[in-house]
Amino acid sequence: MVIFTIIGSFGSILLKKGSGRFHLDFSTKGIINLLTNWNIIFGGLLYFLSLIGFIFLLRQQELSILYPLTSIGYIFVTLFSVWLLKERINAYKILGIALIIFGVWMITLH
Amino acid sequence: MSKENHKQKDSKKNRSTTFLCKPILIVILCTIFTSAGQVLLKIGSKNTGSLIDILTNIYLILGVCSYAVGAILLIIALKYGDLSLVYPFVALSFVWVTLLSILFFHETVGWINWLGILVIIIGVSLIGYGSKKWK
């Protein structure tokens, strides 16, 4: 599960990298531009792969256990965005992510 | 339009509040679409006997379309905002899905789940508020 979360997080990094070149343009030029945007294509694929992995794991493990684990993705995405995209984070972001993970865990409790 | 976008991207360093609002509003819209997609898929998942059943299932088709719109909105949001700002807002889909499950599937939700919703909203708000400080 953790591996699939890391794959998904890496996918979102690629989506972010490709998003600068992303335009809603349905002309031939726009479509070619989208199809050669490897960051978006590979990012989307990695995202999709982590989703497939999640569905696969769901067949063996309870949703109430797996769902809170998906929120580990927020930690990885934040770490990756600082490390690879050189984004700045602050105490608000760290506290916010901690609260989100805590909240997701509470939502899945019965 | 695209020229304007590039200009905005260049002036990323001196971001204003309006600059911050745009990706947040887009990603919130994105979570609404993905949550609606999940609910539609759930409704559609009841009738998945044969391949034709799946391909002609209007709920599944609408669900996938809704998901696709959500994905496009996420990419657009990422274009205007930092990943570490935009991505945590995806957690709002947990909130919408819980609310929609009550509405459509009459699922029962305990106080701890309501508290979870509240905590997620506070967490997401903090991230938005915290990013406003970086100008």
Q: Is a pLDDT exceeding 50 seen at residue B14?
A: no
Q: What residues of chain B lie within 8 A of the CB of A81, using their CB? A: 82-84, 87
pLDDT-derived band at B44 (thresholds 50, 70, 90) equals confident
Q: What residues of chain B lie within 8 A of the CB of A22, using their CB? A: 75-76, 79
Q: What is the full DSSP assignment across B90-101?
A: GGHHHHHHHHHH
Average pLDDT, stretch A73-78? 92
pLDDT-derived band at B20 (thresholds 50, 70, 90) equals low
Q: Is a pLDDT exceeding 90 seen at residue A70?
A: no
Q: What is the full DSSP assignment across chain A?
A: -HHHHHHHHHHHHHHHHHHTT-----SHHHHHHHHT-HHHHHHHHHHHHHHHHHHHHHTTS-HHHHHHHHTHHHHHHHHHHHHTS-----HHHHHHHHHHHHHHHHHT--
Q: Is a pLDDT exceeding 60 seen at residue B5?
A: no
Asked if A22's CB is within 8 angstroms of B119's CB, the reply is no
Q: What's the complex ipTM?
A: 0.85
Rounded to whole angstroms, how far apart are CA atoms B96 and B117? Answer: 9
pLDDT tens for B120-129 read 999 999 999 8
Percent of chain B with pLDDT over 70: 83
Rounded to whole angstroms, how far apart are CA atoms A102 and B122? Answer: 11
Size of interface A-B (CB pairs under 8 A): 132
Q: Is a pLDDT exceeding 90 seen at residue A35?
A: no
Average of per-residue pLDDT values in chain A: 87
Q: Please report the pLDDT score of residue B19 as a whole number.
A: 59
pTM for the whole thing? 0.82
A38 touches chain B (CB under 8 A): no
pLDDT-derived band at A92 (thresholds 50, 70, 90) equals very high
Q: How many CA atoms lie within 13 A of B79 on its CB side?
A: 21
- Inter-CA distances, A108 with B94, B99, B129, Å: 10, 13, 26
Q: Is a pLDDT exceeding 50 seen at residue B135?
A: no
Average of per-residue pLDDT values in chain B: 83
B124 touches chain A (CB under 8 A): yes
Q: Please report the pLDDT score of residue B112 as a whole number.
A: 94
pLDDT-derived band at A62 (thresholds 50, 70, 90) equals confident
**What is the nearest CA distance from B133 to chain A, expressed in angstroms?**
9
